[in-house]
């Protein structure tokens, strides 16, 4: 039966204009979303390159200025900005801490709409005030991005539903089911084979679409395995939707009811469950108000500022390496400021930790219950593969905070030893290099396959009884 089903289902598919149209739509969606994603990545790369160029230009000017000062020439610049002052270098010539896009970043916008991809930590800046938020169009936030992940997570299931909702019911409604059922076959096996062929057909289209995407992106060869992983993920997700369509085809009789049931499941899995989980997460683990937090920080800073002399004394007691025996040297604003910054950081730590703790609890909550919706799992996995997941941006933020610390520490000996910054110190300035980590879980694809196979098994088990009672075969 299999070979004949395969051969003739393929013939029927090839002769169906509806299926041809769906296949073309799928190819166009993949192509357009990739183009869209690549366009965004280009813009992101350009922004980062522009930021680097700006730093290079500033550095060239700084070195020129330093050269002039070192040659004893007078320079027409404010005392605060002359780069012989380490604080001037640390504040007015920061490095770019950029998060370069990953090779597959085009396919999932993920958190990229919400977070910036480069910051310039300053020596006198606070880690918590580093602004990672991106200015984004509210309209875009409302409707989301038309990227490959959107096509895969949201639209592909709809195409699968259109492709498979009436495999059995159309036979019943056209009357050919009675003729089929009079053959020595099991209807559920026959439906499964038809579904299998349609799944195979769509897989071929997806593979073909991914080849086009691959051609458009022309990634390095080592990314081939990433593409294969992506293909595996899409196949597993498709299988889940085909399994649902299989169940609905067996359980419900009429095409219209099948379509409504499958669309209901789409709404539940793709829209409702993610939204409910998010809402529950917010209710169970509310994040403290950011405004309140900033207000508290400000009042703390104001208090600390009042006792800067005392703080500096304590700081110098803790750091004898910065003790000055030369009474001609002075302790000025930045000495007090930088000493108080450390204290502020320590004092604020519990508040920031509480904020991050709640955020982590929310994420853990979603992490546990995400298995209720394959759409969440697939979206998360695509974001992780693209390097645009929450974890990626959190990791980037941590790397930036760590770099900001190094940047600050680099200038401390200059400041407290009252040492001037010179041209020869320039090459030693710390540089930021983002090191991406892989957060992609190896379990996602096998578990999705297992869930789908479970659903197929359930369909088989239940339909055995129904077929025996004649429900499947009579019109």
- Enumerate binding residues for another protein (CB under 8 A): 1, 3-5, 8, 11-12, 15-16, 174-176, 178-186, 190, 468-470, 473-474
Q: Smallest gap, in angstroms, from Cβ of residue 256 to another protein?
A: 19
Q: Smallest gap, in angstroms, from Cβ of residue 10 to another protein?
A: 12
147 vs 171, which CB is nearer to another protein?
A: 171
3-state secondary structure at position 98: strand
139 vs 179, which CB is nearer to another protein?
A: 179
78 vs 183, which CB is nearer to another protein?
A: 183
User: Rounded CA gap, 113 and 268, in Å?
Assistant: 25
Question: Is there a contact between 393 and 168 (Cβ–Cβ < 8 Å)?
Answer: no
| Percentages of the chain per state (helix, strand, coil), in multiples of 5 | 75, 0, 25
268 vs 462, which CB is nearer to another protein?
A: 462
295 vs 475, which CB is nearer to another protein?
A: 475
| Contacts of 384 by beta carbon, 8 Å cutoff, 6+ apart | 391, 392, 438, 439, 440, 441
7 vs 398, which CB is nearer to another protein?
A: 7
User: Rounded CA gap, 122 and 88, in Å?
Assistant: 10
| Contacts of 300 by beta carbon, 8 Å cutoff, 6+ apart | 344, 347, 348
End-to-end CA distance of the chain: 22
Q: Smallest gap, in angstroms, from Cβ of residue 240 to another protein?
A: 28
Longest dimension (CA), the chain: 107
User: Rounded CA gap, 340 and 48, in Å?
Assistant: 32
Q: Smallest gap, in angstroms, from Cβ of residue 473 to another protein?
A: 5
95 vs 194, which CB is nearer to another protein?
A: 194
For 234-260, give one letter per residue: b (16+ CB within 10 A) or e: bbbbbbbbbbbbbbbbbbbbebeebbe
15 vs 79, which CB is nearer to another protein?
A: 15
What is residue 118's DSSP assignment?
E
22 vs 382, which CB is nearer to another protein?
A: 22
Q: Smallest gap, in angstroms, from Cβ of residue 174 to another protein?
A: 5
Q: Smallest gap, in angstroms, from Cβ of residue 262 to another protein?
A: 24
What is residue 133's DSSP assignment?
B
What is residue 167's DSSP assignment?
T
CA-to-CA dists, residue 17 to 13, 14, 21, 24, angstroms: 8, 8, 6, 10
| Contacts of 435 by beta carbon, 8 Å cutoff, 6+ apart | 399
Question: Is there a contact between 380 and 149 (Cβ–Cβ < 8 Å)?
Answer: no
Q: Smallest gap, in angstroms, from Cβ of residue 23 to another protein?
A: 17
Q: Smallest gap, in angstroms, from Cβ of residue 466 to another protein?
A: 12
What is residue 101's DSSP assignment?
P
Q: What is the DSSP string of 421-432?
A: P-GGGGGGS---
User: Rounded CA gap, 118 and 96, in Å?
Assistant: 6
Q: Smallest gap, in angstroms, from Cβ of residue 250 to another protein?
A: 16
186 vs 301, which CB is nearer to another protein?
A: 186
Q: Smallest gap, in angstroms, from Cβ of residue 261 to another protein?
A: 24
């Amino acid at each position: 039966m299999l070979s004949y089903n395969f051969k003739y289902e393929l013939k029927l598919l090839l002769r169906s204009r509806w299926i041809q149209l769906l296949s073309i739509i799928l190819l166009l969606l993949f192509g357009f979303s990739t183009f869209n994603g690549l366009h965004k990545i280009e813009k992101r790369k350009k922004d980062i390159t522009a930021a680097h160029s700006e730093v290079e230009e500033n550095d060239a000017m700084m070195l020129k200025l330093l050269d002039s000062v070192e040659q004893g020439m007078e320079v027409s610049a404010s005392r605060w900005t002359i780069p012989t002052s380490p604080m001037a270098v640390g504040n007015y010539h920061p490095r770019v801490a950029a998060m370069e896009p990953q090779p597959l970043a085009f396919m999932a916008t993920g958190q990229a709409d919400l977070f910036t991809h480069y910051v310039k930590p300053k020596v006198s800046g606070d880690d918590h005030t580093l602004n990672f938020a991106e200015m984004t169009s509210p309209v875009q936030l409302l409707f989301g991005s038309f990227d490959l992940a959107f096509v895969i997570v949201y639209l592909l299931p709809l195409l699968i539903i259109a492709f498979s909702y009436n495999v059995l019911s159309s036979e019943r409604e056209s009357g050919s089911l009675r003729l089929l059922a009079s053959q020595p076959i099991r209807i559920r096996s026959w439906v499964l084979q038809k579904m299998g062929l349609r799944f195979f057909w769509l897989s071929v289209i997806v593979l073909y679409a991914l080849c086009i995407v691959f051609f458009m992106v022309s990634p390095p060869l080592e990314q081939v395995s990433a593409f294969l992983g992506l293909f595996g993920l899409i196949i597993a997700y498709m299988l889940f939707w085909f399994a649902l369509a299989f169940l609905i085809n067996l359980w419900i009789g009429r095409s219209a009811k099948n379509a409504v049931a499958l669309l209901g499941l789409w709404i539940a899995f793709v829209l409702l469950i993610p939204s409910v989980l998010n809402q529950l997460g917010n209710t169970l683990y509310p994040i403290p108000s950011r405004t309140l937090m900033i207000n508290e920080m400000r009042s703390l800073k104001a208090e600390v500022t009042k006792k800067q002399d005392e703080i500096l004394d304590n700081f110098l007691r803790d750091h004898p390496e910065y003790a000055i025996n030369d009474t001609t040297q002075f302790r000025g604003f930045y000495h007090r400021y930088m000493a108080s910054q450390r204290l502020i950081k320590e004092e604020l730590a519990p508040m920031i930790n509480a904020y991050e703790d709640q955020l982590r609890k929310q994420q853990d909550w979603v992490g546990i219950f995400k298995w209720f919706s394959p759409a969440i799992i697939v979206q998360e996995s695509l974001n992780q593969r693209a390097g645009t997941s929450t974890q990626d941006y959190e990791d980037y933020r941590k790397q930036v905070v760590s770099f900001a610390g190094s940047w600050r520490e680099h200038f401390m000996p200059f400041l407290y030893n009252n040492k001037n910054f010179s041209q020869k110190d320039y090459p030693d300035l710390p540089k930021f290099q983002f090191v991406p980590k892989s957060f992609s879980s190896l379990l996602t694809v096998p578990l999705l396959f297992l869930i789908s196979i479970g659903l197929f098994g359930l369909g088989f088990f239940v339909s055995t009884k129904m077929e025996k009672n004649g429900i499947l075969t009579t019109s």
